[in-house]
Structure 1
């Protein structure tokens, strides 16, 4: 599927040499690349899966207060 917000840059021969895309899409791509990189390590994969399964936590505002940042 082609994204209408993505613009392709081509040279005088019509060969695609670059691309312009929305920042949100670029950030999403970077996030996916980082996740793929982290998943290459068995230890990191295990840590990520454990973190994903955690259900306990505290609100962001409470964390700021506990850290003395608010």
Structure 2
């Protein structure tokens, strides 16, 4: 995250009232919020960890072939 690209918006008194961030930074923030929300549920946390540690599966090419696309 590059803080040089963040812009601050101030009011007449010089108080910061808003921030403008690059879309990449915003998407990263949103992704972190979503992950934190999902991890609040013990069941979802378990599912995410199982998916993260899964070693089996098939390649994208195999999926496309099976779907005929």
Q: Same fold (TM over 0.5)?
A: yes
- Tell me what 1:47 maps to: 47
Report the secondary structure of 2:43's partner residue: helix
The structure with more helix, counted as a fraction of residues? 2
- Tell me what 2:57 maps to: 57
Question: 1:22 Cα deviation (Å)?
Answer: 0.8
Unaligned runs of 5+ in 1: none
Map of 1:22-37 to 2, 5 A cutoff? 22-37=22-37
The size of the alignment, in residue pairs, is 68
RMSD in angstroms over aligned alpha carbons?
A: 1.4
C-alpha distance in structure 2 between counterparts of 1:20 and 1:3, whole Å: 11
